[in-house]
Amino acid sequence: MRPQLLFVFIHFTILTTSTILATSQSPSLAEKTLKRVDNETIYKVSKQLCWGCLGESLQFLYQHNLVRAAKWELPLTWDSQLEKYASWWAGIRKADCKLQHSFPEYDFKLGENIYWGSGSTWTPTDAVSVWAGEEKYYDYEQNTCQEGQMCGHYTQIVWKTTRRIGCARVVCDDGDVFMTCNYDPPGFVSHNMSATCYHVTLFQRATNRSFKK
């Protein structure tokens, strides 16, 4: 393990342990501690795990690590090679903004979440929020999605063994937004999850005439 990553891991572990202790002592103290960890510590940890990152890259990583922290999972590290791959695919999709994965069906070499939004203002926070919102469709006991629903974007974000992430955002030629994130190692995709959670082109209506996935 890299020295810097080891330091971040120890720092994160100490702070989350302190939060657990605070929870057992006082609800009000726990609320303040949890807020501090979410809004301050996770951001600082993400900056340390996103060497040289600015703007959208850090926003992608920070939002992912907020979701993971809520489930007591270790934070992800930004990976420049995954970022290059995501940027390549976003560049391909710039011409048509088609909501399409970079891998053939059932041949995923990396984990991958994709997003499309009508209009040019959608941000990494919007994409991660929609993906994470699938938690309500995930059955933890059965490790499957509810019938007819998607949850694979969420499970990829919080998958325990995933360590690295790289993402990209592009405003397409038609003025819409396409975003993609790649993960390594990829999250496990069971037979029951794959069809409903990763490969169905299903748009979720947001506000007004906007759509998201």
- Cα–Cα distance for residue pair 136/118, rounded to 1 Å: 24
H helical segments located in the chain = 3-25, 27-36, 42-48, 56-70, 80-93, 124-132, 152-158, 191-197
- Per-residue pLDDT at 180: 97
Q: Is the preceding omega at residue 185 within 30 degrees of 0, hence cis?
A: yes
Rounded to whole angstroms, how far apart are CA atoms 19 and 136? 25
Pick from 8-12, 155-159, 205-209: least confident: 205-209
Kindly report the pTM of this predicted structure: 0.75
Q: Which is nearest to 111 in space by CA: 76, 144, 138?
A: 76
pLDDT band at 2 (very low <50, low <70, confident <90, very high): low
Assess contact for 200 and 193: CB atoms under 8 A: no
Q: CA of 127: how far to CAs of 38, 131, 133, in Å?
A: 19, 6, 10
Count the helix, strand and coil residues of the chain and give each as a percent rounded to the nearest 5.
50, 15, 35
**Tokens for 3?**
């020295």
- The mean predicted confidence, pLDDT, of the chain is 78
Contacts of 155 (CB under 8 A, 6+ apart): 138, 187, 193, 197
Euclidean distance between CA atoms 74 and 5, whole angstroms: 11
Structure letter (DSSP) for residue 207: S
Q: What is the mean pLDDT of residues 124-141?
A: 95
Map residue 112 onto helix, strand or coil. Answer: strand
Q: What is the pLDDT of residue 142?
A: 86
**Pair 3, 14: CB distance under 8 Å:** no
* Type of residue numbered 31: E
Question: pLDDT digits over 188-208, tens only?
Answer: 655 344 332 333 233 432 222
Q: What token pair was written down for 128?
A: 């991660």
For residue 132, what pLDDT is reported? Answer: 96
C-alpha–C-alpha distance, residues 198 and 189, integer Å:
9
pLDDT surpassing 60 at residue 212: no
If one compares 20 and 106, the residue with the highest pLDDT of the two is 106
Look at 136 and 12; give whichever has higher pLDDT.
136
CB 126 within 8 A of CB 117: yes
pLDDT in tens, 72-129: 999 999 999 999 999 999 999 999 999 999 988 777 789 999 999 999 999 999 999 9
pLDDT of residue 1: 53
For 95, the token pair is 């011409």
Better-predicted residue by pLDDT, 33 or 160? 160
